[in-house]
Structure 1
C-alpha cells in the first residue's frame, strides 16, 4: 500500500528497467530551502523558579486579565462607542460590580463556567466515603445546568441571554459583554466582543516559477512507537517515504522537497511492560523498575537517527511522552535518544509544547493538541477548527489552563497570551485532518491545521511554506 498522492503512476514506474542515461538526476535536499533557515523561540522554556507549585493560581488569572483587558476594551470601544439603545447611550463600567439595573452598559472580565460535570477535587475526597456515578471524560458541557459568569478583581456577574448561545466560551477567556442588569440580578447580554487577532508580521512573498515543486514541512503526530516486533507497517512506510526510499522517482522528488519534519506529540508508545507476573510481583518502595519497557525509547531513537541523517526533525512532546505533564511541556531530554542527539548541532531539535517556529519569515505556532482537546469538553459541537480560531481571537492559546488543563502557577507573566498572530497554527493528535484560513480586521491571515493521529489514521500533513496550502499523504486504507 502506497501513499495516495502517488498511487496512480507507481506501478508503471516500478516495472521499468533501471535507467542508465546520464540525464537521470538523483533528487536531493538542498540548503536553500527551509530546512536550514528555521529559527526557534524560547518563550515556553521554563526557568527553575517557575517550576514550582508553592504559589496560588489566582495570580495567573490576574496577570491574564491585566494584559488582555486593554485589548478587549479597544475592540469593544471600536464597536460600541457612541451606540444608543432605546434612546439611552451605552456606557462602559470599569468593574463588573458597578453594573446598575436598567442601564445599558458594557464591561470586561474573565469568563468562568460553573459546570455540573466538571471534575472537582472535593468530589475525589468524598469518593473515599461515598460511591458516585462515573463522569464521562469526553464532554463536561450541560447547557441546561451550566452557568456563565464574568469576573474581575471586584467580583462575579452571572451572564444570561440568547446572544451567549451563539458564542463559544470557556473558562479563562477574556471578553467584553454589552447588555443590562435584570431584576434577578443577572446581566442580560446583547453582544460579545473579543480582543480578536493579535498584530501579525508581514509574510514574505516569494516569486517562484509555476513549475516549482514547492518546499514542505511534514506535520506528524501520534506515532505512538511501541517498539514491538510487529510494529505498524504504516510507520515503516512513513520513514522510508520521508527518506526518499519508497515508491518511484516522483515519490523521491516529492520527498526531496520535504525540508523539515515536526513530530507534534505522542511519538513514544506505552513504556510499561504488561505482564501478569509483573503485576503480581511485589513492588519495592511502591515502584517496580522491572515494569519499565525500554523498547519504545530505543526504537524512537533509532528512527530519529535514521531520519535526521536525511532531513531536519523537531521532536515535540505530547501528553503521553516522557516529560512533564503540565503546560508548557518542556523539551524531551536528548539523553533518551543518544543516537539522535549526535545530530543536535545540525538536524535534530527537541522543542517545547507549545512552540513557535520562524521558517523563512513564516511564523508557525503549534501544540500537541491538549488545549483543543480540553476546549472540546466545554462545547456541544466537535468543530476543532472553530475552537482553534477562537483561541486566536481570545489571544490565548490555552485558556482553560489552569482550571481543567494542567499548568504551572505563573506569577510574573502568562506565557500563553498571544501578543503576535501566527501565519500557521496547528494542533496535533486530532481525530482527523482539516484546514481553513481565517482573517482579522487588520488584514491578518492565518492557516489553521488539525494534524490527525498517525497511529489511528495513517495520515501526515505536508505544508507548503510558500503558499501555506496543505495536502495529505495517507499510508493506510
Structure 2
C-alpha cells in the first residue's frame, strides 16, 4: 500500500451551494447586483489608470451633463442577429417563423452599454468580436448624440488580489480528469482500468503516484452528450433518465469506490450529468453513490468548484462557461477565454443571457472576490496550459482539462512549482 502525500483541504464553494429563496424576481436583477458589486472594482481601476482627470457619469445624465469626455460604467450587451432567442423559439413553436442557425460573430454584431436606467450604442475603439454579453466595464469617451457613445479607451475590473502561494519542500500532485462518459465506458474500459492501476502504483511510477494527494473529476462523468428528446424551450424541463444512464451511474459509483480506497476524490457535476441543469450545479446526490459514500475520501462538490490545498487557491468549472464564451465570441482557445474571465473578474459572464443560472438578485456568486492560483476548465478537446500574470504580480496557472473519453488523458499538476502536464492512458497496440 502506497503512503500518500497529505494536504490541508478546505472546500470554499459555499456561495455556489446557496440558492435564492425568491424566484419571483426578473433575471435583470442579477445584472443589477453584478453591476453594483463590480462598480467599486471598476472605480478603483479608473482611479489607478486615468486618475481624476475625467468625471464618472451615469448614462442617463450624459445628455444633461454634456461633458467633452467622461467615464461611464455599465454592462455590455452584445446584439447578435442570429443568437438564439426565447421569443423566436416561442414563435417557432407556434410556427410563426423559422429559428435562424447561429453562426460565428460577424461584422453585423453591435455592442451596447447598459446601467440601471439607460442604454447606449457603442462605437469607436472597442472590439465586439472578443466580448460577450454580461461583462461589466468602464468606458472613456463621449456622447455623440442619438444614443451613441464614442469609445476612446476601456477598462475591465482585472485580476483581484491574490494571497501568497504556499511553499512546498517536496512534490505534491493534484490530478484533474473530466468527461469519463460512463454511458459509453464499454468502449474504453481498459483505459479506465489503467487509470486505477496507475493510482494504485501497480504500473510503477511509485515516486510520482505516492505524491498524488487528490483527484478532481470535472463533470460529464455519466455522459458527454445529451440524449435525443423532443425539443423544449424550458431550461428546467424534466427529462426522464434512460436505463443506460441509470446503469452508467452504477458503474461510475463502482469506479469511484476503487479510487476512494486509494486517494481523496472530488466529483463535480457536468452539463450532461444527473444534476440541476442551470448554474451553479449542486453536487450530485449521495444516493447515486451507495458504494462510494461510505468513504470519507469521497466528496461530491458543486460546479463551479472552489477549494484550497494548504491555502493554495484552486477554482474550476466543468466547461460550460468557457464553451459559451468561445461560442459567442471570436476567441478560439479555451485558455484565452479563461484569461479573459480573470480580466473581466467574472466566472460566467454569459449567464443568464445564453447560459442558464438561478435568478440571483442580492449577490452574483460568479464574481471573483480573490484571484486563484490555479484556474481549470473541464471537458475540452485537448490538454493545454500556461501561466498568466496580472498587473500586480498575480500568477495564475490556467489548465484546459481534456475529455478523457476521447483523449484518454488527465492533467497532473505539481503544487510545488505549479508545473502541469498531461498523462496518457492510451493503450498502444502493435
Q: Calculate the TM-score normalised by the size of structure 2.
A: 0.90
| Partner secondary structure for residue 315 of structure 2 | strand
CA deviation digits over 1:12-42, x for unaligned, max 9? xxxxxxxxxxxxxxx7233x532xx211124
Cα displacement (A) at 1:318: 0.3
1:262 matched to 2:232? The reply is no
Aligned equivalent of 1:302: 254
Cα displacement (A) at 1:47: 4.2
Question: Which among 140, 145, 156 is matched to residue 119 of structure 2?
Answer: 156
How many angstroms apart in 2 are the aligned matches of 1:257 and 1:419? Answer: 31
| Partner secondary structure for residue 403 of structure 1 | coil
Cα displacement (A) at 1:371: 0.5
How many angstroms apart in 2 are the aligned matches of 1:166 and 1:398? Answer: 18
Aligned equivalent of 1:201: 163
Cα displacement (A) at 1:399: 0.8
Cα displacement (A) at 1:205: 2.0
Q: Verify the 8 A CA contact 1:262 1:314 in the aligned structure 2.
A: yes
1:67 matched to 2:30? The reply is no
Cα displacement (A) at 1:291: 4.7
Aligned equivalent of 1:118: 83
Q: Verify the 8 A CA contact 1:451 1:461 in the aligned structure 2.
A: yes
Aligned equivalent of 1:445: 395
1:29 matched to 2:20? The reply is no
Question: Which among 90, 98, 104 is matched to residue 132 of structure 1?
Answer: 98
Alpha-carbon spacing, 1:448–1:157, altered in 2? closer, same or farther (3 Å): same
How many angstroms apart in 2 are the aligned matches of 1:432 and 1:228? Answer: 19
Cα displacement (A) at 1:140: 4.8
Equivalent residue runs for 1:78-227 within 5 Å: 78-81=48-51, 83=53, 90-95=54-59, 97-98=61-62, 103-127=68-92, 128-130=94-96, 132=98, 134-136=100-102, 139-142=103-106, 144-161=107-124, 163-165=125-127, 168-182=130-144, 184-206=146-168, 208=169, 212=170, 214-226=171-183
Aligned equivalent of 2:25: 55
Alignment RMSD? 2.5
Q: Once superposed, which parts of structure 1, at least 4 consecutive aligned residues long, lie more than 6 Å away?
A: 270-274, 286-290
How many angstroms apart in 2 are the aligned matches of 1:191 and 1:39? Answer: 40
Cα displacement (A) at 1:94: 3.1
Alpha-carbon spacing, 1:40–1:290, altered in 2? closer, same or farther (3 Å): closer
Aligned equivalent of 1:465: 415
Alpha-carbon spacing, 1:288–1:303, altered in 2? closer, same or farther (3 Å): closer
| Partner secondary structure for residue 152 of structure 2 | strand
| Partner secondary structure for residue 126 of structure 2 | helix
Question: Which among 333, 338, 348 is matched to residue 383 of structure 1?
Answer: 333
Aligned equivalent of 2:278: 326
How many angstroms apart in 1 are the aligned matches of 2:242 and 2:380? Answer: 33
Unpaired runs of 5+ residues, structure 2, are: 229-237
Unpaired runs of 5+ residues, structure 1, are: 1-26, 84-89, 275-285
How many angstroms apart in 1 are the aligned matches of 2:240 and 2:336? Answer: 44
| Partner secondary structure for residue 180 of structure 1 | strand
Q: Verify the 8 A CA contact 1:29 1:259 in the aligned structure 2.
A: no
Q: Calculate the TM-score normalised by the size of structure 1.
A: 0.82
1:364 matched to 2:294? The reply is no
How many angstroms apart in 1 are the aligned matches of 2:387 and 2:15? Answer: 26
Alpha-carbon spacing, 1:101–1:421, altered in 2? closer, same or farther (3 Å): same
| Partner secondary structure for residue 443 of structure 1 | coil
Q: Verify the 8 A CA contact 1:41 1:356 in the aligned structure 2.
A: yes
Q: Verify the 8 A CA contact 1:97 1:157 in the aligned structure 2.
A: no
Aligned equivalent of 1:15: none
Matched length: 416
How many angstroms apart in 2 are the aligned matches of 1:272 and 1:438? Answer: 34
Alpha-carbon spacing, 1:391–1:323, altered in 2? closer, same or farther (3 Å): same
Aligned equivalent of 2:231: none
Cα displacement (A) at 1:443: 2.1
